[in-house]
Amino acid sequence: MCGRYTLTSSGQELASHFEAQPVLDLQPRFNVAPSQPVPVVRIAAAGEAGAEPGKRQIALHRWGLIPTWARDASIGSRMINARAETAADKPAFREAIRRRRCLVPMTGFFEWRGGGGRKLPSWFHPSEGEGALWVAAGLWESWWDPGGQAVHSCTILTTAANAIVAEFHDRMPVLLAATHYARWLDPELEDPRALADLLVPWPAEHTAVRAVSDRVNDARAEGPELLAAREPPAQGELFG
């Protein structure tokens, strides 16, 4: 799964990479957590501000998809991820995977393992180096709160873990190559089966991992020091 990630790219860097508008004022994030606003890339619809209809638009969405039929927004905390294999069959995701797909940029994500009562985080990132961009396959939705205000939210699709991530967790985000952005975002493509070949593990040879500070465990913690290499645990500490 993906429950916490990093995004250190600037708004200008994202706009350039995705050939999208507008340029958002983004600060580096080293501990993005569920329910927070996150930038996504999607195709702009008619009447939306920020981009020409049919063009790529960068927008902030709440992480944790809120289905249109939800009674309140709290359900989003359980919808931060969607299994790629079953999303098309789940009531919360089946319309979004057909009509509301998006891209979720990140520069890495966290997973945990441990023992003895400690959760020890590790940061997975592109093997090309820190700051390189990964782009996860996402879905988005709009929900109207009791006051009539639209809340735009998103989820990240997951697939089986590659050999690197599998040592920590059996799932990982679906990551897309730049050559696949257009297909994933194509509003004319409404059959999820035509996208199944994209929903596969990212190559292990392009995945790097580093044990990092357990301050990441606190969703309120922020700053580049969170990615500092953690000293190896003492013998017996990892598994208790």
CB-based contacts of 171, cutoff 8 Å, min separation 6: 1, 2, 81, 83, 158, 159, 160, 161, 165
For the chain, the distance separating the N- and C-terminal CA atoms, rounded to the nearest angstrom, is 24
- Catalytic residue numbers read 2, 111
- Other C-beta atoms within 10 Å of 45: how many? 12
Q: Whole-angstrom Cα distance, residue 134 to residue 165?
A: 15
Question: What separation in angstroms does the CA of 53 have from each of 71, 142, 182?
Answer: 30, 17, 15
